[in-house]
Amino acid sequence: MPKYLELSDLQRAQKKHKFHWKIPDTMPPRKTVGEKATAYFELECVCKTKRWVRWGALSNGLSGSCGCHSKKHRVPTLLEMEALILKHGMLWIPTLLHKTNKKTKRRLFWMSCKCGKRVWVRWGRFQQGGHKGCRSCGIRIGKGTYANEYHSKHPITSAWRNINFRRHFKGYSVLWENFEQFKDWSLANGYGPGAVFRYTWKQKHFTPETCQWYRIVAGFQAKPKGGHI
């Protein structure tokens, strides 16, 4: 082992790379391995796991921890979860209780919705804002969630989901940029109990001129020409 290694070298490497190994006040146990006398130090991670760490990995910043603080396996803090909730407008109350799915190898967190229901939420979807609430409070459609009373079986939500399907897979153009604009237009243009959404199927674009909500009044169905959703 090189004779020039001292405690100040370990402290300097920690200050430079900010790894999660604890550097004690005294020189930690060390050993040499192989013909080249590779130096190893016995260090303790912040999770209280002790490992023999190669000096080269410490000096180059390649070994930041025992694996508990890597990007893939690091457990997020409650402050990070709350920041994501505020960013995406989610309804979850976070906890640190988590598990890993044995089949998919994906991490799940035990979350409580504001309505009181508790479910396992996938961490990847939680980071992207894909699950904003439980199924009774919101429905995930693509990367967004339409919460509150506009659940998955709501006519406005169902119509918007089919409009997006035709836009992405059939090349239809859509005037409304998001669900909120379509919802406001629907509420102001004939939507009500029993209303059905119809569009002019010959024109491959959705606009207020080609779409409408109509109702069945006193057993008479005012059925315009075109397709329905």
pLDDT tens for each residue of 149-158: 555 667 888 8
Whole-number percent of the chain with pLDDT over 70: 79
- The whole-model pTM stands at 0.36
pLDDT tens for each residue of 87-127: 877 888 888 888 888 787 788 888 888 777 888 888 888 88
CB 66 within 8 A of CB 51: yes
Residue with tokens 């640190």: 96
Amino acid letter at 190?
Answer: G
Residue with tokens 């919705």: 113
Stretch 79-90: mean pLDDT: 83
Stretch 158-174: mean pLDDT: 80
Nearest to 19 by CA among 28, 27, 32, 10: 10
CB 189 within 8 A of CB 208: yes
More confident residue, 70 or 66: 66
CB 160 within 8 A of CB 150: no
CB 134 within 8 A of CB 119: yes
Backbone CA torsion sign across 103, 106, 109, 111: negative
CA distance linking residue 220 with residue 159, whole number of Å: 23
